[in-house]
Amino acid sequence: MKPLSEFIKEALRVVELAKDAEITLRIMGACAVRIHCTRYEYLFEKLSRELTDIDFCSYSKFKPNMRKFFEELGYKPREYMFRYWERAGLPREIYDDEKNQRTVDVFYDELSMCHKINFRGRLELDYPTITLSDLLLEKMQIVKLNEKDVKDMIILLREHDIAEKEEKEMINGKYIATLLSKDWCFYYTVTTNLKRVRDFSKSYKALTREDLDDVSLKVDHLLQIIEETPKSLKWKVRQKIGTKVKWYTEVEEVPYPR
């Protein structure tokens, strides 16, 4: 397994070079969580949280330049996946650095998985990563939440406080709540996962009582903001149907041949 620092250094290098090339590119996923969590970075080791790849997002207007950009950095486009995502109508590309055994995912304009997260107009709000609010939503939109995502959220919440506006190194609870107030399906997945993070955190012996209490308080605070935000008519209509009808998009597992 590659040292965690190698992924972080490479992600930061790529974003800086993209900036020089006048390409808007931001780090997302586990690397972004790691970059934002310097005070509690020791928890990554204590919780055995490893990194396996690098995720980026950009705007579709930069897509024509992205292939050349990554090829000049030594990355090879995964042609099969380019064609797959294009047929599926999903704005996504995958590149491999075979020499250093690294893979990068590039998403354009939005993350379209179990739920959609729109990045349009939001990539300028932070650098070199997406905002903490979008980072939390990126993880919490996963219906079949896995352990690595739980660990990321525990550390992200341990490191950062909840705010009600866009502030540096703060999670914008109001933005999240407003977004979820219009979409019951997304609301249900995010609130369910926040409760899972709070409950699952108690099973990690590596966390102190102070860690657990802090994460729990922040989850409760965020849930309170979400619940107190007025809901749209569309939200209320969909709530009545509930989980009797599938409320998320099934993410298909596809082979990634090189």
Asked if 139 and 21 touch (Cβ cutoff 8 Å), the reply is no
Residue 71, pLDDT above cutoff 90: yes
Q: Global pTM? A: 0.92
Torsion of CA 254, 191, 153, 25, to 10 degrees: 60
Measured CA to CA, the distance from residue 123 to residue 6 in angstroms comes to 24
pLDDT tens for each residue of 134-152: 999 999 999 999 999 999 9
Asked if 188 and 115 touch (Cβ cutoff 8 Å), the reply is no
Domain ranges of the chain: 4-244
pLDDT band at 241; cut points 50, 70, 90: very high
Residue 111, pLDDT above cutoff 80: yes
How many other CB atoms sit within 10 Å of the CB of residue 73?
15
pLDDT tens for each residue of 187-214: 999 999 999 999 999 999 999 999 999 9
